[in-house]
Amino acid sequence: MKSFFIPLICAVVLLSAAGCITDNGKFPTPAADFVPKRTYAVSHDKLWQATLDALDNSRIPVVNSDKTNGRIQTDYIAGPGQVNIALAISQITRYKYNISLRDEANGSIRLNVMCTIEDSMSSTHSTSQWRDVTSQNTTLENKLETWLYEQVENQLKGS
């Protein structure tokens, strides 16, 4: 009887570990009731600084910024990954932001936040190229963009 339970217990442990989530990052989420304004009645300089401060406070590195043209590009941020022990593969996810500020005719400033989500698969033998999976993850894309708008608006409120 004992010899029957040992393989059974090993099989249960192996199968339950086959689809583990790794904690190399969690996706941030906006407050449930938050709706971004996207157009702000503040100076270009103030919105620019609030955006940079929001990124700094969220520990999101900027790789390129051009204040004259109102463009900011962030580095990639690690997202959660999955490991399948039975198949010896893992999936990793990352995302980044492209941000633009544009002067509107009425004197307000339009903030446009665009998120790109990528993933890659790896095994003990190889790692795949990063591929853009944004179009398959529009709900996540919207949450990540809304979250950053919320961070910027929080900076505007605090200044």
**Segment 66-116, tens digit of pLDDT:** 999 999 999 999 888 766 555 556 778 899 999 999 999 999 999 999 999
Quick one: average pLDDT of 45-65? Answer: 96
C-alpha pair distances (Å), 137 with each of 118, 131, 132, 134, 142: 10, 13, 10, 5, 9
- Number of CB atoms found within 10 A of residue 115's CB: 22
The DSSP symbol for 139 reads: H
The pLDDT assigned to 80 comes to 82
**Predicted pLDDT of residue 79:** 87
Give the H or E element holding residue 146. helix 138-158
CA distances for 30 relative to 140, 152, 153, angstroms: 11, 12, 12
Q: Are 9 and 68 within 8 A, CB to CB?
A: no
Backbone angles phi, psi at 90, to 5 degrees: -140, 150
CB-neighbour burial class of residue 91 (10 A; exposed 0-12, middle 13-18, buried 19+): middle
| 3-46 pLDDT, tens digit each | 544 443 333 333 333 333 334 568 999 999 999 999 999 999 99
Assign 125 a pLDDT band (cuts: 50, 70, 90): low
DSSP letter for 50, please.
H
How much is the CA Rg of the chain, to the nearest whole Å? 21
pLDDT at 6: 43
pLDDT of amino acid 18: 37
* 120-139 mean pLDDT: 83
